[in-house]
Amino acid sequence: MTFASATAPFSADRLRRSLLQWFVKHERHHAHATSRFILLAWIGFLGMPAYYTIWTYWFPQEFESLALRLLGAALCLPALAPGRLLRGRFVNAYLFVALTYVLPFQFTFMYLMNHGSAVWSQSMLIALTVLFHFRTRWALAACAIGSALACALFALVGEAAFMLSPTVLEQLPIYAFTMIAVSVAKAGRGALAGEKLAGMAHALASVSHELRTPLVSVEANVRGICRRITPPARASEADWQAMSEAMTRIQYEVRHMNHMIDLFLLSASAVEQRLEATEVVSMRQVVDSVIRRYPFAAQSQRDAVSVDIRTDFRFAGKYELSVVILLNLLRNALKALHRAGKGRIRIVVDGRPEQPRLLVIDTGCGIAARQLPMIFQRFYSYPPSSGAGIGLALCKDIIDAWQASIRCVSRELGYTMFVLEFPRVAVAPEPH
């Protein structure tokens, strides 16, 4: 008995972590609403027949419908294999139709057909709570359409006058309060995350400015020393050559730090910008700019990076934010090479596929399978000392705002590949 009680919390914790990693994995491979619906689809697919049995045989209700349940389970099926079925231009339409049917339509219709029983009035509250965890405008549209269709069907097959009875009307303020409360709570969580990001941005900007002043002073002093040094008789030529090389390295490190500060400031400003696409950008220009601007530590590091422009393409985004994305990906790739002590980096621009793409591939240390699902989480970094954990999360937020996608494929000690895919721009004005 003691052994069982000791292992139960461990098993529950393992289950919780497994579910969280599963959800995060799908969240990073799909849009936020899609990943949330995938989890809901599993619940619906299993729950539809289960609750038909419960409300028909164990706790019989006035009305149940196997046909409605099976249709709901069938609508959940495509989400159970998201990698193969949730693709293409009709994904959002499918999600909206399935969500509208499974939650507001079915629950409203069953509530009305059961004449507002306690079971279905409480079930409606649960359905609305789940529904309004999706985007608020999406949830409002689904709720309005689903409820209207349910009421129309009930008017045809049931007692239309019941919809205006006190049993129904007295529930409406409760349902309205539920929708408002969930929406406000969701907005509050978003505001807190935004405040945390803004605070980090301000702190990063302040630290960067504070660092720049002593670095400028150090560089000026190094220049002064180099000008004033005159070789004494007892110092050898080799001694002065070594000192000169040391001074050159100090100057280089100062320039490198200034370049890195520029990158940090650019990332800090991106956190506070509106991320929506407002320009049409050439990917070739973005790559060229990043290669010119990146503060490579040595020529050997620069030589490890190759660029393959197969076909340039233009995409809807923002030029400076595009630079931020690629700078972050390149910096992470160079860190991976440094940790592994080997490898090369390829940046591939390929505008030929239906969805033009940018690939950033390195053959450095790779990413462990257990870490891969979390790399786009905000404030997550591995190893923990490797950074603040906002770089890849910021890239994901920007890419999502542009209706594009970013994913990572990796093998530990082998390679890492980031794939960025963009909607094709049909008519493109001059790029930035």
Query: In the structure, what pLDDT confidence band is assigned to residue 55 with cuts at 50, 70 and 90?
Result: very high
Residue 421, SS3 per DSSP = strand
Is this structure's pTM higher than 0.75?
Answer: no
**Inter-residue contact 415 to 363 (CB < 8 Å):** yes
Q: Cis before residue 383, ω within 30 degrees of 0?
A: yes
Burial class of residue 102 in the structure, from the number of CB atoms within 10 Å of its CB (0-12 exposed, 13-18 middle, 19+ buried): buried
Instruction: Name which of 71-85, 233-247, 315-329 the model is least confident about.
Output: 233-247
Query: In the structure, what pLDDT confidence band is assigned to residue 3 with cuts at 50, 70 and 90?
Result: very low
Non-local (6+) Cβ contacts of 34 within 8 A are 26, 79, 82, 86, 91, 95
Non-local (6+) Cβ contacts of 11 within 8 A are none
Q: Provide the pLDDT for residue 200.
A: 62
pLDDT tens per residue, range 181-198: 888 887 666 665 666 666
pLDDT tens per residue, range 331-373: 889 989 988 999 999 999 999 998 999 999 999 999 988 888 8
* DSSP H or E run through 409: strand 405-411
Query: In the structure, what pLDDT confidence band is assigned to residue 229 with cuts at 50, 70 and 90?
Result: low
Non-local (6+) Cβ contacts of 283 within 8 A are 312, 313, 314, 315, 322, 349, 351, 356, 358
Q: Provide the pLDDT for residue 84.
A: 57
Q: Provide the pLDDT for residue 10.
A: 47
Separation CA 125–CA 205 (nearest Å): 45
Q: Provide the pLDDT for residue 193.
A: 62
Separation CA 407–CA 403 (nearest Å): 14
pLDDT tens per residue, range 150-179: 999 999 998 899 999 999 999 999 999 999
Instruction: Name which of 18-22, 139-143, 226-230, 233-237 the model is least confident about.
Output: 18-22
Q: Which two tokens stand for residue 8?
A: 């139960």
| Helix (H) and strand (E) counts in the chain | 15, 7
